[in-house]
Structure 1
């Protein structure tokens, strides 16, 4: 396994179309999710949860999104509907990261949302540490209430995004990174 500093310096998201089989087995997935959940969580609220899309469930989720779009606009192109049907089946596993942030007497919603974001980052690191790759994206189903309901959200929940997981089909490519000197201010 790569040492932690090397991992943190080199971890790179792999676009979902470049991910394939295999995905994590049951034991690896349990470990990945357990590691993801080790985040700052004021009040021990666990203001987040996971929805797993794989196999038949992934196909049903994609079909539901395609049906939703077709119902809203019968002129939606066949290519777009095919893309939606395959949204969750193009990779071995997609993890829906759900934020359950809400009003609390001691813990502001913003802190709860930050905790969900921390879960997402830990999730990416855990996936990569297990030898897989991932891409965390949002796209329209994350922000559409009706799509959210179709994909398993409950009242008061929203998607922090979808983490597509698999084995890279090609090596990662590097992208430009921020100039840290331009982002730091002394007070």
Structure 2
């Protein structure tokens, strides 16, 4: 199988695994460095590298989960026991969580939107890099990705934005397929009719 055929085969079946369906083993330090090295190879107009990574592993995941849950429960003291458990395990479901942080800022030539898109490309590249090394992954944004009040807990600066938290580990169950949009519903050939 050629490299191009292997990539096509991968993209035909690529599927995220929910973080609560991941477990050990997680990536080693060497594998994390390899994934981040691959993930940074994205379109980046102006070579700004308008993003950075935060690696959460080991006890740090527990600290972040604990502190985020304290904020969530303080904000909604009457949440259900089920939601309380969800909040208490935000960063401990998978062995590794990598935050992709957009550092996009006004630039004389490069629009902020393009810089943010580059951060999104990093998230997808990181998912694919994790899969290429043999791990499952999931790109997650939840309330804490958008609440700047908890950014100090996460190590994110006030002027930054979270592009996503990539949860990485070993799948504990086989992946299942989900419905994808029909091409006829999402594709337009400009100036042409009845193509699909």
TM range (shorter): over 0.9
Please list the CA deviations of residues 51-98 of structure 1 after superposition, one character each: whole Å capped at 9, or x if unmatched.
111111101101111111233343344443332221111110011111
The aligned counterpart of 1:53 is 56
The aligned counterpart of 2:6 is 3
* Aligned-residue offset at 1:99: 0.8
- Once residues 8 and 74 of structure 1 are traced to their aligned partners in structure 2, the CA distance between those partners, rounded to angstroms, is 43
- Aligned residue pairs total 187
SS in 2 for 1:3: helix
- Once residues 113 and 182 of structure 1 are traced to their aligned partners in structure 2, the CA distance between those partners, rounded to angstroms, is 26
1:140-151 equivalence runs, <5 A: 140-151=143-154
1:161 correspondence with 2:159: no
1:27-176 equivalence runs, <5 A: 27-176=30-179
Moved more, 148-157 or 67-76: 67-76
TM-score by length of 2: 0.90
Q: Decide whether the 8 Å contact of 2:148 with 2:158 is kept in 1.
A: no
* Aligned-residue offset at 1:170: 1.1
SS in 2 for 1:164: strand
- Once residues 152 and 168 of structure 2 are traced to their aligned partners in structure 1, the CA distance between those partners, rounded to angstroms, is 22
* Aligned-residue offset at 1:104: 0.8
- Once residues 78 and 18 of structure 1 are traced to their aligned partners in structure 2, the CA distance between those partners, rounded to angstroms, is 20
- Structure 2: gaps (5+ residues): 191-196
- Once residues 124 and 79 of structure 2 are traced to their aligned partners in structure 1, the CA distance between those partners, rounded to angstroms, is 34
- Once residues 54 and 70 of structure 2 are traced to their aligned partners in structure 1, the CA distance between those partners, rounded to angstroms, is 20
Report which of the two structures shows the higher radius of gyration computed on alpha carbons: 2
Aligned alpha-carbon RMSD (Å):
1.6
Which 4+ stretches in 1 moved above 6 angstroms? none
